[in-house]
Amino acid sequence: MLAGRTIILGVSGGIAAYKAIEVCRRLVDAGAHVVPVMTQGATRFVGEVTFSALASEPVQTSLWTERDPIPHTRLGQRADLVVVCPATARLIGDYAAGISHDLLTATLLATRAPVVLCPAMHTEMWEHPAVQENLATLRRRGVTVIDPAEGRLAGGDVGAGRLADPADIVAALDDRLGRLDQAADLEGLRVLVTAGGTREAIDPVRVITNRSSGKQGYALAERAQARGAKVTLITTVSRPLPPGIEVIEVASAADMEAAVMPRRDADVIIMAAAVADFRPASPAASKIKKGDEVPQIVLEPTHDFLVDLGRTKPEGQTLVGFAAETDDVVANARHKLERKHLDLIVANDVSAPGAGFEHDTNQVVIMDAAGVDHDVGLRDKRSIADAVLDAVVAWRSAGPRPHA
């Protein structure tokens, strides 16, 4: 995806600027046309000549150049992608606040191309609430952030804040451009996504719930919108989202059913939420007090409305379920797919390292009703979301097929 693309490589003033040299070399080797833009602070760490020699064009550093009166606008218009490596706390703050005091920040505000930030700073700075809030703001606006790694930092310290590996950065840029090429494949479709774990009341204070964070459902909603869909998200949790996604907040399985069923005519329904299988049969009307007797909680099954969705699925709709399993993952998921009349099911072993609930990564098997299984190895949940949406697009493109 990098070959023939124009990449603006922004370099800001941090010690990790020397690693941007390797990023530049790898991008050029991959066939990208790399235009380096350095801040004055960056030139204190790495010489301009180094980037000029390795990149596709000489370094640009100033808004005030005789050859182009509006260099930031021209750079922004030319770019297929803008990456800032490293992105310092100051640059992140300026970008989030819309402050353009130099060529790089002005270019960031002038471009409509995808933007990728690669933060690098000391652990104390990386963990500061102001930095994290600025990054959350930028993520909501659609900026991709490649989080730093843990390791040795300047001055001999060790901790989070080390710039991601150059090879990983270039791979992420290639992936981001690949997702850009997918941008219209869900154009015009109405996509309904559910997210989070439902909460079933024991009393007005206590609930029975599960460990679902909603991260995978939110990633699905975000990526579906980015690929052109009109998205409704029904969720039990609150997380940042880009503007334009309709959000409906619910709590219990019954609440989620009440929100989903009137919207059952969506073109695509993706049931990523961890809906409770059981609930207390008789929730207490007031808080249960701690006493000598341990209360006995009798459970009853919740209504499995996904079965209803499968039985009454309108022609042309794609229905996707999720199966969080700990053993016999594929067999259990296949049985669920068939029993609930689904088109696709996403199975994941929630006991596997780095996968499932609460993690930022996941690994899944995407199974379809024609009997085809597709293994997706461990990766971030946005990439998992794209793999699921790719399967949805492929299923819909193939037209009506008999179920296995």
134 is catalytic: no
Alpha carbon distance 46, 33 (integer Å)? 20
Strands (E), 131-286: 144-145, 149-152, 158-162, 190-195, 200-201, 207-208, 230-235, 246-249, 268-271, 278-280
Give the residue among 350, 357, 344 at the shortest CA–CA distance from 327: 350
Alpha carbon distance 346, 193 (integer Å)? 13
> Which 3 state secondary structure label does DSSP give 403?
coil
Alpha carbon distance 20, 14 (integer Å)? 10
Q: If DSSP states are collapsed to H, E and C, what string results for 303-344? A: CCHHHHHHHCCCCCCEEEEEEEECCCHHHHHHHHHHHCCCCE
SS3 content of the chain, % helix, strand, coil (to 5): 35, 25, 40
Q: Determine if the peptide bond prior to 119 is cis (ω within 30°).
A: no
Sign of CA dihedral 339, 340, 341, 342: negative
Alpha carbon distance 325, 307 (integer Å)? 18
Q: How are beta strands 230-235 and 190-195 bridged, if at all?
A: parallel
* Torsion, CA 206, CA 211, CA 216, CA 218, rounded to 10: 20
Tell me which amino acid residue 260 is.
V
Residue 7 DSSP label: E
Sign of CA dihedral 63, 65, 69, 71: negative
Catalytic: which of 134, 210, 348, 362? 210
Alpha carbon distance 181, 100 (integer Å)? 29
Alpha carbon distance 210, 197 (integer Å)? 6
Question: Which residues are catalytically annotated?
Answer: 210
